[in-house]
Amino acid sequence: MEPFATENGGLAVNHRICSALLLAIAAPLAAEVDLDAVDAWREANGTDILRGFAELLAIPNTPAHPEGLRRTAEWARDELAARGAAAELLEWPGAPPLVWARLTAPGATRTLGVYVHYDGQPVDPPSWTHPPFEPVLYTASMEAGGRPRPFPERNETIDPNWYIYARSAGDDKAPIPAMLAALDALKAQGTAPTVNLVFLFEGEEERGSTHLGQFFEEYRDRLDVDLWLICDGPVHQSRRPQLVFGVRGYSGIDLTVYGAERYLHSGHYGNWAPNPAWMLAELLATMRDDDGNVLIESFYDSVEMLSPRDREAVLAVPGAEKSLQQELGLVRTEGGGASLIERIMVPSLNIRGMASATVGPTARNIVPRIAEASLDVRLVKGNNADEQLDLIEAHIRKQGYTIVREDPDHATRLAHPKLIKVVRRPGYPAVRTSIDAPVAAPIIEAADRAAGESVILMPTLGGSLPLYLFTEQLGDPIVVVPIANHDDNQHAPDENMRIGNLWYGIRLFAAIFATED
Amino acid sequence: MEPFATENGGLAVNHRICSALLLAIAAPLAAEVDLDAVDAWREANGTDILRGFAELLAIPNTPAHPEGLRRTAEWARDELAARGAAAELLEWPGAPPLVWARLTAPGATRTLGVYVHYDGQPVDPPSWTHPPFEPVLYTASMEAGGRPRPFPERNETIDPNWYIYARSAGDDKAPIPAMLAALDALKAQGTAPTVNLVFLFEGEEERGSTHLGQFFEEYRDRLDVDLWLICDGPVHQSRRPQLVFGVRGYSGIDLTVYGAERYLHSGHYGNWAPNPAWMLAELLATMRDDDGNVLIESFYDSVEMLSPRDREAVLAVPGAEKSLQQELGLVRTEGGGASLIERIMVPSLNIRGMASATVGPTARNIVPRIAEASLDVRLVKGNNADEQLDLIEAHIRKQGYTIVREDPDHATRLAHPKLIKVVRRPGYPAVRTSIDAPVAAPIIEAADRAAGESVILMPTLGGSLPLYLFTEQLGDPIVVVPIANHDDNQHAPDENMRIGNLWYGIRLFAAIFATED
């Protein structure tokens, strides 16, 4: 397969230059694919599409199934190869293989990267209604009273509200049959992708993409694209399709405050010996105001300004706050009434957990020895993970603490009145493509056409993914292109995919692949 | 044994009236016992005293040994009876028996109650150097390099720095052989107690004196005394003998703050959904100033003023703070440099434990559902347990919280922006006899004579004991009369008693029992 690598490497430079030139002068792009024809083809071939999807879902793909992961990768490689792609498995010791494939469009000036992960979260079969790798079709979601039904015969009408249940149905195998069907549908109407496509299917996302950076380093020359489509995640809770232009970065810090070297009797020593639980509470209380806004100096300063278009998108995100509050039993929210998306556009500081001695029936009459808190920090564009932790440490020092990196010994304790151990967890930055970036325009337009309405343009997810590997290591922008239903029980038992969302995926990929270049 | 009950009941009323009259006009009291003669007798009989002590220590006496507890009680009853006391076991269903005995002094106008507990803390034999119920004599403490040695032959010189190791050696069997020897020593010099003595040995102190109040109610007519000597606890860390005039009361409160009804993803919902860990930290931080002084309104208001003599005693308590701080690794203490005893003279509010989700390797990227803290409150004379908790609740309400007593349901959550569950633990008041109470004077004088110096007069222990049963239910004042060495490993493996402290106990009880009435 080496020839392809060389060929790609050579082409890639030209693509990059050409597309940069092209994008700089890009006018609104018209799409040339006929989505009605795509729908017609899908209607005629829905049975086979579902059977193919079920075949893929039947291959076990959790970390406990290394052989299943490889078979999953081989299945995807073979299907891509069958559609004319140069497809192979890229290997790295200790990692499931990466499925890589390239489909060259004659005369194309742009290359889209198409990322999917084919691995799934671990399963606990007893908590599933059906075995997780025996896909079952339902007449509706289980919650909506759906019942199992046989897979349809050829030419039987398929209801878009049917659900298919199996591990990874929604997260994240569904994009694979959707994009394969999109290629088939284009071929059936005598067209083909108008952009070059580089497919990259990872097998380790649910374990934190541990080796993805090493793969990128090793196989960089096969990964020269203009934009990565991250095909993962669900559409909006309102079932409206969305494009997501970023994810937040992540960092974290663990704090340990010290009292006396041993537990002390609270009657004999309480309110004389420093109580680390109280010290920690007092320290944490200095970090935020009553509304949950972070008071650490400069915490919000490095946030990158939003463009007017991005700001518009933030305001346009449909609010689900009222129903969420009802569901979660919350009268009050933090941020003084700010919307969820507004809160997500700034960095956050959250206590993940807190502990000091014991509570409840095992609590004892002592002054605790230590008190611990674990905090996570979500970063937005402009924040640097290390710098954000530096700000927190500066704040802690301002409260009179001496920071240590390991449990202090006796001499250290006797040298400092207030000691805290700060352990910084490794972090990574946020990623966000501006919604008005030229490279995003054809994707937005394709998605609007596929959805038949304006899709939601979500500037960022609140959660974190290491997409900086794409933007920083490979230097390419990303757009997250979700197709799964929001109620897909992602990571949970009875994971599923709504058939209508799979159909949307086929239209979406057809529109994106065959957008006029 | 019924005749004694009747006789005592009749006598008691007279004693009470007489002693009240006598004490009101009490001049300084001279002691008539010759303590040199007591020492001489003890020197001649030390071998037998130690053998008797070892015999008592060999009887298992933890809650796991109900039969051993009864044998211990019978041993003590028989020894008291052998010295002329009307002695019996008082029974209550489900409780180890109380040893009760009365020794009437002809013409005496005062009755002293002598309380000891004969039960011991549970044992974990593998962590002991010797089996906990096989007493072993050492040439010094283990820490000081002492070695096991045989029990002495008759007339062999006994070193007061020898230590005897066994469960309950210090806490709290030691006073029993000491007071038996004191009675023998008095008899040997042809004298006898000059006060009436009521002995009361409890078998359930280490389990919280669960049935003591019921015993008091049932057997009240046998318990009519002028002052209870609580024979328990260690002397001062400086090895100087002390009398202790009070203990603090106890109460406690458990707090649970609520966030959303389920764990939320910290990236998607952090800093929008209220974080109960942060709310709890903020709430706790409002309760104290930087020096650890309680900011809850009126928290210190009900503290009973000290008499000038009590205040003098507080100032005279030897300070061990510097060496304690060195030992505990503490540069800073709470209370702005106040001494330990000064801190103990006011009520305390202490976090015993704090918890919210998890920290360390098991911490997850969530917004916790709840946060909990367990607080204990130590009370001083004047404080009422319930009222002190009321003040805390009023403070919590002032911070905007609605207090509930059980986990809130969905409707309750949706009705209140800030919810906290407050569970009040049962409490009991402090006990303190004023050092200048007339009833205390002969005890102080006897202790000074026994110690050969002014003993430390400790206005209160920081810890809590339910001595209010004596002061409130029986209506009698108390003085705590400790004889054990401070390094007796109370409640721990290798518990011990220093022989010199046992000798002090014999002098002390002889002086107290035979003080001129």
Residues of chain A with Cβ-Cβ distance to B486 below 8 Å are none
| A246 Cα to chain B: minimum distance (Å) | 13
Closest residue, chain A, to B247 (C-alpha)? A267
By the 8 A CB rule, do B383 and B330 touch?
no
Contacts of A322 (CB under 8 A, 6+ apart): none
Cα separation values, A345 from A18, A306, A317, A392, A465, Å: 33, 9, 12, 19, 15
Is residue B319 very low, low, confident or very high in pLDDT (cuts 50, 70, 90)? Answer: confident
By the 8 A CB rule, do B375 and B280 touch?
no
The rounded distance, in Å, linking the Cα atoms of B3 and B358 is: 64
CA atoms within 13 A of residue A157's CA, in its CB half-sphere: 2
The rounded distance, in Å, linking the Cα atoms of A153 and A130 is: 22
Pick the closest to residue A343 from A293, A299, A385 (CA basis). A293
Residues of chain A with Cβ-Cβ distance to B464 below 8 Å are 267
Q: Give me the amino acid identity at A332.
A: R
List, in sequence order, every beta strand (DSSP E) within B118-214.
136-138, 148-149, 163-165, 196-202
The rounded distance, in Å, linking the Cα atoms of B341 and B326 is: 18
**DSSP letter assigned to residue A97:** P
* pLDDT greater than 60 at residue B264: yes
Residues of chain B with Cβ-Cβ distance to A278 below 8 Å are 284-285, 288, 292, 351
* Most distant pair of Cα atoms in chain B: their distance: 87
What proportion of chain B, given as a percentage, has pLDDT over 90? Answer: 87
Q: Which helix (H) or strand (E) holds B373?
A: strand B370-379
* pLDDT greater than 50 at residue A24: no
Mean pLDDT, chain B, whole residue set:
92
Mean pLDDT of B438-449: 96
**pLDDT value of position A491:** 87
Cα separation values, B126 from B78, B129, B130, B132, B169, Å: 33, 8, 9, 10, 18
Question: pLDDT of A262-284, one tens digit each?
Answer: 899 999 999 999 999 999 999 99
**pLDDT value of position A178:** 98
Contacts of B475 (CB under 8 A, 6+ apart): none
Q: Which of A278, A332, A428 to mutate to test the interface with B (most CBs of B within 10 A)?
A: A278
Phi, psi of A55 (to 5 degrees): -60, -40
Interchain CB distance below 8 Å, A374 and B367: no
* pLDDT greater than 60 at residue A8: no
Contacts of A53 (CB under 8 A, 6+ apart): A135, A164, A173, A174, A177, A497, A502
3-class state of residue B45 by DSSP: helix
CB atoms inside a 10 Å sphere around CB A354: 32
By the 8 A CB rule, do A488 and A165 touch?
no
Cα separation values, B310 from A506, B314, B316, B317, Å: 88, 6, 10, 11
Nearest-by-Cβ selection for A274 from B250, B262, B334: B334
Contacts of B111 (CB under 8 A, 6+ apart): B12, B15, B19, B195, B196, B197, B198, B224, B225, B226
* pLDDT greater than 70 at residue B221: yes
Closest residue, chain B, to A465 (C-alpha)? B267
Is residue B32 very low, low, confident or very high in pLDDT (cuts 50, 70, 90)? Answer: low
Interchain CB distance below 8 Å, A358 and B357: no
* pLDDT greater than 50 at residue A31: no
The rounded distance, in Å, linking the Cα atoms of A376 and B368 is: 12
Contacts of A431 (CB under 8 A, 6+ apart): A246, A247, A249, A381, A465, A467, A468, A470, A471, A478
Question: pLDDT of A86-117, one tens digit each?
Answer: 999 999 999 999 999 999 999 999 999 999 99
What proportion of chain B, given as a percentage, has pLDDT over 70? Answer: 93
Mean pLDDT of B455-477: 94
* pLDDT greater than 70 at residue A9: no
Question: pLDDT of B270-279, one tens digit each?
Answer: 999 999 999 9
Partners of A264 in the β-ladder = A367
Question: How many CB pairs below 8 A link A and B?
Answer: 281
The rounded distance, in Å, linking the Cα atoms of B64 and A264 is: 27
Mean pLDDT of A130-151: 97
Mean pLDDT of A193-202: 97
Is residue A228 very low, low, confident or very high in pLDDT (cuts 50, 70, 90)? Answer: very high
* pLDDT greater than 90 at residue B17: no
Contacts of A442 (CB under 8 A, 6+ apart): A29, A512, A515
Question: pLDDT of A301-311, one tens digit each?
Answer: 999 999 999 99
By the 8 A CB rule, do B315 and B342 touch?
no
Mean pLDDT, chain A, whole residue set:
92
Interchain CB distance below 8 Å, A330 and B260: yes
Is residue A329 very low, low, confident or very high in pLDDT (cuts 50, 70, 90)? Answer: very high
**pLDDT value of position A155:** 84
Contacts of A361 (CB under 8 A, 6+ apart): none
Helical spans, DSSP H, in B212-275:
212-218, 266-269
pTM of the model: 0.85
Contacts of A357 (CB under 8 A, 6+ apart): A263, A277, A363, A364, A366, A368, A369, B352, B353, B354
Ordered by where they begin, the domains of chain A are: 2-245+433-513 (3.40.630.10), 249-318+339-428 (3.30.70.360)
**pLDDT value of position A239:** 87
The rounded distance, in Å, linking the Cα atoms of B500 and B484 is: 9
Partners of A88 in the β-ladder = A100
Question: pLDDT of B98-117, one tens digit each?
Answer: 999 999 999 999 999 999 99
Cα angle B46, B48, B52 (rounded to 5 degrees) comes to 115
Is residue A188 very low, low, confident or very high in pLDDT (cuts 50, 70, 90)? Answer: very high
The rounded distance, in Å, linking the Cα atoms of A379 and B270 is: 12
Rg (CA), chain A: 26
B293: left (phi over 0), alpha (psi -120 to 50) or beta: beta
Interchain CB distance below 8 Å, A284 and B288: no
The rounded distance, in Å, linking the Cα atoms of B9 and A278 is: 52
Q: Which helix (H) or strand (E) holds B39?
A: helix B35-57
By the 8 A CB rule, do B98 and B203 touch?
yes
**Model ipTM?**
0.86
Residues of chain A with Cβ-Cβ distance to B482 below 8 Å are none
Mean pLDDT of A445-468: 94
Residues of chain A with Cβ-Cβ distance to B467 below 8 Å are none
Question: pLDDT of B36-92, one tens digit each?
Answer: 999 999 999 999 999 999 999 999 999 999 999 999 999 999 999 999 999 999 999
Nearest-by-Cβ selection for A371 from B290, B333, B354: B354
* pLDDT greater than 60 at residue B402: yes
Q: Which of A284, A328, A378, A416 to mutate to test the interface with B (most CBs of B within 10 A)?
A: A328
By the 8 A CB rule, do B296 and B395 touch?
yes
State the virtual CA torsion across A16, A17, A19, A25 in degrees, nearest 10: 150
Residues in chain B: 517
Is residue A25 very low, low, confident or very high in pLDDT (cuts 50, 70, 90)? Answer: very low
Phi, psi of B333 (to 5 degrees): -125, 165
Residue found under tokens 């929604």? A170
Interchain CB distance below 8 Å, B413 and A329: yes
By the 8 A CB rule, do B219 and B98 touch?
yes
Is residue B175 very low, low, confident or very high in pLDDT (cuts 50, 70, 90)? Answer: very high
* pLDDT greater than 80 at residue B15: no
Closest residue, chain A, to B262 (C-alpha)? A328
Closest residue, chain B, to A347 (C-alpha)? B271
**DSSP letter assigned to residue B139:** S
Burial (CB count <10 Å: 0-12, 13-18, 19+), residue B191: middle
Helical spans, DSSP H, in B359-406:
385-398
Question: pLDDT of A361-394, one tens digit each?
Answer: 889 899 999 999 999 999 999 999 999 999 999 9
Helical spans, DSSP H, in A31-174:
35-57, 66-82
Question: pLDDT of A401-435, one tens digit each?
Answer: 999 999 999 999 999 999 999 999 999 999 999 99
Is residue B27 very low, low, confident or very high in pLDDT (cuts 50, 70, 90)? Answer: very low
* pLDDT greater than 90 at residue A23: no
Q: Which residues of A50-84 are buried (b: 16+ CB within 10 A; e: fewer)?
A: bebbbebbbbbbbeebeebbbebbebbbebbeebe
